[in-house]
Amino acid sequence: MTNRYAVILAAGQGTRMKSSLYKVLHPVCGKPMVQHVIDQLSELQLTKMITIVGHGAEKVRAHVGDKSLFALQEEQLGTAHAVMQAKDLLADAEGTTIVICGDTPLITAETIDALLQHHEHTKAKATILTAYAEDPTGYGRIIRNEDGLVEKIVEHKDATEEERTVKEINTGTYCFDNKALFDSLSKVSNDNVQGEYYLPDVVEILKQAGEVVSAYQTHHFEETLGVNDRYALSQAEEIMKKRINKKHMLNGVTIIDPSNTYISADAQIGRDTVIYPGTMIQGASTIGERCEIGPNTEIKDCQIGNDTALRHSVAHDSEIGHEVKIGPFAHIRPQSQIADEVRIGNFVEIKKTSFGKGSKASHLSYIGDAEVGENVNLGCGSITVNYDGKNKFLTKIEDGAFIGCNSNLIAPVRVGKGAYVAAGSTITDDVPGNALSIARARQVNKEDYAEKMDVHKKS
């Protein structure tokens, strides 16, 4: 098999985004655009991937990691100049090189693969992935001769009135014979409206050298959407959202209102789970089977088991087991581990806390920096007092303990196995297992107090 390489163009300034965030790092369904492109390419068993990065280089590297090699384009002099930066890593290689823009997040591995097949089958030196656009404004146009063969690509800004009527566009994805690509790049000039070295000019250069240039037209125009501004970003988001939701529905997930359900590209959801409206499932979350999620719930980077319900709640960066009931109006903050059959009710906030199997905090609690054993009952209004203004301290509540309503557990503190804490207590010392701890002022009843008040008033 021929060696296959990919060059991902991601060094552009992204001026039209009007943003301090590097263009290709703008997320679509929670994942940076360039990451979408790289993830699709990763399915194609390529010998080498090289991402061309510019002024935000470090941030792109940090996101992409070791999936790709990188080459720096210090000045953004155009797409041909960008590809040139891969010269040291690639120019001597034999094989096929895919060039793709980092701002086309909707492109799929299937379409790139179809382009590759077409390219290798026709033995062309260059094959352009084209599409038919209802509104081709802004895209490079494919100019064909009277035999229907591709002659050249003209950028929108350089096109004549007549050329602008052409609706077949350059998607910005190509396959090249690697050697022919690098030979031609050195011949590209910047004699055009934008004063840039255009990669599409390679097509005309190859053509004039008598080489075969081919085009492969995809019927999925929406896959090739190039995101240059925030409006296109919102279009990409909408298309990606529909695609992701459809995938889950076809896998057996019920989504009550797909137009109002936002699932990240990397989330996984089990069969027979029902997602109610207003739900956002972000990051690399996994949700098990037969869960009920939402309405109005935000889950980010959580691992959730089977038969669990989260309603009107927020959960981040935590593990949640099977048959857990969370909400309405609960907040699970990062680094929490919630075991099976736990119940976290309304207005309960959990932070960096482990909850053992079958434990409950049903109403109005803050439990932070705590280790809660199994079958613990945290009464309404239980609070771990974990912070002295400088440091955070641990609260340990052992199996089967019962914490009465409105108790403060002042950390560091431990409530032993099977112990009871009386309602309204402020616990500052460890409670031994099986003990009852009462830590509140005794009640005093002043008899006939009202009568004395009356006497007082009359005098």
Q: Please report, as ranges, the residues that interact with Ca ion according to CB under 5 A.
A: 103, 226, 228
Pairing of strands 96-101, 126-132: unpaired
Residues near 234 by Cβ (< 8 Å), separated by ≥ 6? none
Query: Residue 82 binds which one of Ca ion, ligand UD1, none, with CB within 5 to 8 A depending on kind?
Result: ligand UD1
**Is 290 assigned to a binding site?**
no
Choose between 153 and 310: whose C-beta lies nearer to ligand UD1.
153
Q: How far is the CB of 125 from Ca ion (least distance, A)?
A: 24
Residue 200 binding ligand UD1, by CB under 6 A: yes
The interface with ligand UD1 within residues 14-43 (CB under 6 A) comprises 23-24
267 annotated as ligand-binding: no
Interface positions, 73-102, toward ligand UD1 (CB under 6 A): 73, 76-79, 81-82, 101-102
Residue found by looking up tokens 């041909």 in the block: 80
Coil, strand or helix at 456: helix
Q: What, of ligand UD1, Ca ion, none, does residue 10 touch, CB below 5 to 8 Å by kind? A: ligand UD1
Q: CB 196: neighbour CB atoms within 10 A?
A: 19
How would you class 1 by CB atoms within 10 Å of its CB: exposed for 0-12, middle for 13-18, buried for 19 or more? Answer: exposed
Q: Which does 426 bind (CB under 5 to 8 A by kind): ligand UD1, Ca ion, none?
A: none
Cα distance between residue 80 and residue 203, in whole Å:
11
Residues 6+ apart with CB under 8 A from 340: 305, 321, 322, 323, 324, 357, 358
Distance between CA atoms of residues 183 and 185, nearest Å: 6
363 is catalytic: yes
Which of the choices ligand UD1, Ca ion, none does residue 415 contact, using the CB cut-off of 5 to 8 A by kind? Answer: none
Which one of Ca ion, ligand UD1, none interacts with residue 76, CB within 5 to 8 A by kind? ligand UD1
Is 387 marked as a binding-site residue?
yes
Mapped to the 3 state alphabet, what secondary structure does 374-430 carry?
Answer: CCCEECCCCEEECECCCCECCEEECCCCEECCCCEEECCEEECCCCEECCCCEECCC
- Closest residue by Cα to residue 50 from 3, 90, 104, 103: 90
Which residue lies nearer to ligand UD1 by CB, 52 or 338? 52
Under the binding rule (CB under 6 A), the answer on residue 198 touching ligand UD1 is yes
Min dist. Cβ of residue 385 to Ca ion (A): 54
Contacts for 143-152: CB closer than 8 Å, 24+ residues apart: 144/168, 149/213, 150/203, 150/207, 150/213, 150/214, 150/215, 151/204, 151/207, 152/200, 152/201, 152/203, 152/204, 152/207
Per CB under 6 A, contacts with ligand UD1 among 164-183 are 169-172
Question: Which of these is catalytic: 36, 248, 363, 456?
Answer: 363
Q: Which residue, 131 or 255, has its beta carbon nearer to ligand UD1? A: 131
Annotated binding site: 9-12, 23, 73, 78-79, 103, 140, 155, 170, 228, 333, 351, 366, 377, 386-387, 423, 440
Annotated binding site for UDP-N-acetyl-alpha-D-glucosamine: 9-12, 23, 73, 78-79, 140, 155, 170, 228, 333, 351, 366, 377
Residues recognised as catalytic: 363
Site of interaction with ligand UD1 (CB under 6 A)? 9-12, 23-24, 52, 73, 76-79, 81-82, 101-103, 139-140, 153, 155, 169-172, 198-200, 226, 228
